[in-house]
Amino acid sequence: MNIQILLVEDDENDALLLQRELNKTKKIYDFVQVETYEEFLNAIKNQHFDLVLSDYNLLGFTGQDVLKHIRTEKIDIPFILVSGTIGEQAAVAIMRAGAADYVMKDNLIKLPQVVKREINEHKIRVKNKILETNFVKLSEIISSAGDLILTSDLDLTVSYLNKKAEQVLKLNLDNGPISFKSFISPQFYRENFQPILQKIQEKESWNGELILTTADGIEIPVLCSFVFHKFGALSNEISIIAKDISYIKQQEKEILKLNQTLEEKVNQRTIELNNSLTEITYKNKQILDSINYAHRIQDSLIPKKSELETIFPNSFNFLLPKDIVSGDFFWCHEDENLKYISVVDCTGHGVPGALLSIVANQIIKKAVVDEQNTETNQILNYINFKVESKFRSTNPDFNINDGMDMAFCTINETRKEIAFSGANRPLWIVSDGEIIEYNGNKKSIGLTDLKLSDQSFDQIVINYKKGDKLYLFSDGYYSQFGGERQKKLNKEGFRRIILETSKNFNLQEEKLSTYFSQWKGNLDQIDDVCVIGISLQ
């Protein structure tokens, strides 16, 4: 299908130059040229375009007027300014107003690359909107499937029950507030609830099993979460989410009849708990419509900084989401022989990226802990297969072409050996004052090019010395615009910073944070940031 371009240009020669430069590529473009503001309004209203190219100084109007109309009318189309006279201050102003990019007419060789990039990024943004819509629909489906949702104050006086809670517990708040304690089985309350109550009074979140009693005396085992809100008007409210696990209890009885070991039962319960928590992540978006609560759910699922420091005592994690929730995260684990560390950069950021990060976290855990893969290339192959399977639809129009880049390492401290595999992400080792870069495969997880779909990931084995430094990172740090010229830091600038700050490893995280803040200045952060550093033992 040809790419439709609206060309706002009142100079015929300049218009021909732009068309000629773009037609040098393998892409097929259809151009509609307009010279006046009225012609532009008529074209943008009655025709579909994939991109708008506009001069700045035009007859009776400017490129900024064109951009303002596009933004005011909420037309979802990339806008690129092509000018021969615009100054840097005006260019920065129009970029801040929403332009995708600008190209000077004396440097039109850049134009095909800029046009290609913006059209591709626009396609990604459209797909991300589809993903957000699907996320909301999925949240509605899960909510209608029905878990018990309640809110209360710190004394557990209930102020809200959803319809499922009213149906199961056979009560409502028509006659005034009710204490959540009255829903709890008397025996469970006497024998088990006091430690839980103490945590609640200390404003500590709690997840676990309770036995609730309905108004007609029927006991129901539930998986329950008490989630505290530490912001704004909700700072003294608790969200209580209870999932009926009667069927799980029945399964446990059957397991006991088969005389399985205690370890098998604990593993089964752990798997079920994780699955339940994943479901809770989706449902709470609709319950409170709060991205802050989504952030708390995400934090409860992905590994924490304390886990990283337990496995790697001499390490740091600089994680800075663009929004409240993040599409970048790290994953760590250890067994008897190996330590595992990975940095994952999911497509997009915010809610779509966070949603992918939850899926990715669970798949990585299954690949390493459940399937017991120890070779890094086998782990990435497994993750790639699972991600593609989850996002592939029988209807090609509904396939989700999203995924993640990641770097994955195992470390054998006895043998002083690192195994590394990468999906569009590198591994850096600082040794003897130099950075050694190891590149993985030029292939993302899930974002499968048909030409690469049959290719497996490679594994690189590296020997190291005690005191060498290992770094894994997403591209968010060096993609940030900033500095006096408001340009990207770029990878070489990031390499210089890592090398300089690695000389004092104990202060490296603080220095990376300070430099990033100073570099960014008042500009908006454009992507999530995740940098992992480990002093190897």
What was the pLDDT predicted at 261?
A: 75
Q: What strands, in cross-sheet order, belong to the sheet with 339-346?
A: 328-334, 339-346, 404-412, 417-423, 460-463
Look at 69-73, 87-91, 360-364, 449-453 and tell me which has the smallest mean pLDDT. Answer: 449-453
Tokens representing 75 are 């037309």
Q: What percent of the chain has pLDDT over 70?
A: 90
Domains in the chain and their CATH numbers?
Answer: 3-141 (3.40.50.2300), 146-288 (3.30.450.20), 302-535 (3.60.40.10)
Q: State the sign of the Cα–Cα–Cα–Cα dihedral 289, 291, 295, 296.
A: negative
Q: What are phi and psi of 143, to 5 degrees?
A: -65, -40
Reported confidence tier of residue 294, pLDDT bands at 50, 70, 90: low
CA dihedral in degrees (129, 130, 135, 137; nearest 10)?
A: 120
Convert the pLDDT of each residue in 109-166 to its tens digit: 999 999 999 999 989 888 888 888 886 775 465 455 478 999 888 888 998 889 888 8
Q: Helix, strand, or coil here: 464? A: coil
Q: Helix, strand, or coil here: 405? A: strand
Convert the pLDDT of each residue in 16-34 to its tens digit: 999 998 998 888 899 999 9
Length of the chain as a residue count: 537
What was the pLDDT predicted at 233?
A: 53
Tokens representing 317 are 């994690």
How far is CA 183 from its chain centroid?
A: 38
The segment with the largest mean pLDDT, out of 278-282, 385-389, 409-413, is 409-413
Q: Can you tell me the distance from the alpha carbon of 530 to that of 477, in angstroms, rounded to the nearest whole number? A: 7
Reported confidence tier of residue 169, pLDDT bands at 50, 70, 90: confident
Amino acid at 348: G
Q: Helix, strand, or coil here: 484? A: coil
What was the pLDDT predicted at 235?
A: 64
H helix or E strand, kind and range, residue 462 = strand 460-463
Convert the pLDDT of each residue in 310-365 to its tens digit: 999 999 999 999 888 888 999 999 999 999 999 999 886 667 777 888 888 999 99
Burial of 473: CB neighbours in 10 Å, binned 0-12, 13-18, 19+? buried
Q: What percent of the chain has pLDDT over 90?
A: 49
Convert the pLDDT of each residue in 436-485 to its tens digit: 999 999 999 986 554 445 578 999 999 999 999 999 999 999 999 999 99
Q: Can you tell me the distance from the alpha carbon of 33 to that of 47, in angstroms, rounded to the nearest whole number? A: 12
Regarding pTM above 0.85, the answer is no
What was the pLDDT predicted at 237?
A: 84
Average pLDDT, the chain: 87
3-state helix, strand, coil in the chain (%, to 5): 45, 25, 30
Reported confidence tier of residue 234, pLDDT bands at 50, 70, 90: low
What was the pLDDT predicted at 20?
A: 92
Q: Where are the beta strands (DSSP E) in 275-375?
A: 315-320, 328-334, 339-346
Q: Parallel, antiparallel, or unpaired: how do β-strands 157-161 and 148-153 relate?
A: antiparallel
Report, as an integer, the average pLDDT of 385-389.
Answer: 87
What was the pLDDT predicted at 398?
A: 46
Residue 512 has pLDDT above 90, yes or no: yes
